[in-house]
Amino acid sequence: MFVPFLAGLLGGLLGPLIGVGGGVVIVPLLNFSGASFQSAVAASLFSIVVTSLTSIFNYRGLLNFRLLWRYMALSASAAVLSALASVKYSGEWVKLAYGVYLIVVGVVLLVEARPRRRAPVLGYLLIFAGGLASALFGVGGGTVFVPALVLAMGFDAKAAAASSMGIILPTAVASTLMYASLGVLDVVLGVAVALGSFIGAFVASRYIMPRLKSQHVRKMFVGYVFAVGAYYLFSTGALLFSRT
C-alpha cells in the first residue's frame, strides 16, 4: 500500500496550496499501479474528503460560510448527478473538453483577465460544472471553483483557494457516497490514500499556505491547470485518434 499512501501524500500537499482536492495526482498514480479507473476515482474522492476537512479546519479564519453554503449545495447536487452518469458513460470527449477548458482558464489567469463587474450567474454555472467534473474525474472540482471565485465573484487567489476547499467537502462526500452505494469504493485502498492525504494536507495548509502570498498561489494554480490540461488533451486525444 505504499503507492496509494504516496499518491495521497502528494495530492494532499498539492491540494490546499492551490485549492484543489489533488485528485489529478492521485487518480493517475493509482490507475498506473493497477487499480481500475473507477476504483481510483472512488478512492481519490474518499481521500479528498479528508483533505478538505483538514484544510477547512486550518483555513477557518479565511472562510465565509454564509456565502459558501449556496455553492456547497449546488456543487454537491451536481456531483450526485455526475456520479450516476459516470457508471454508464466513458466520457473521453468530456475529458477532452475538460482539458481544453483548463488551458483556457490558465491563459485567462495568466493575463490576469477579470470581468469589469462581478458575474454571479457565471459563478454559479461554473460551480455546478465543477461538481459535475468532480465525480467524473475523481477530483475535488477546485480546477473550476478557484477560477469561478476569482473571475466571477471577485475573490483574490488566496481566499479563492481556501474557499474552494470549503466547496470541495460536500462535493467529495456526495460523490464518495454515490460510488460506495454502487459498490465501486475499495475501502482499504481509500484509507491508505486518505492517510497520506491527511498528512500532506495538514503540512500544506498549516505550515506552507500561511507563508505564501496571493500572487504566488495564482502562479502555482496557472502552472497546475496548464499541466493537467495538457495531460487530458494529449492522453484523451491520442486515445480517440487511435480509434479512428
Give the three-state DSSP class for 58: helix
Question: One digit per residue, pLDDT tens: the chain, 244 residues?
Answer: 899 999 999 888 877 777 676 787 888 889 888 888 788 889 999 988 888 888 888 888 878 888 788 889 999 999 888 887 776 665 577 677 778 877 887 887 777 656 667 778 888 888 998 888 888 777 777 778 887 888 777 888 778 888 888 898 999 999 899 889 888 899 999 999 999 999 988 888 888 877 777 677 777 778 888 988 888 788 877 666 666 6
Residues 6+ apart with CB under 8 A from 21: 11, 15, 44, 45, 48, 51, 52, 134, 139, 140, 141, 142, 168, 172
Grid look-up 465543477 returns 130
Can you spell out the DSSP letters for 93-113? HHHHHHHHHHHHHHHHHHTT-
* Helices and strands: H and E segment counts in the chain: 10, 0
**Integer Cα distance of 37 and 194 in angstroms:** 17
Residues 6+ apart with CB under 8 A from 198: 8, 12, 50, 51, 54
Grid look-up 487511435 returns 242
pLDDT at 77: 92
**Integer Cα distance of 108 and 114 in angstroms:** 8
Give which of 118, 171, 170, 106 is closest to 149, Cα–Cα.
118
Give which of 148, 15, 17, 181 is closest to 75, Cα–Cα.
148
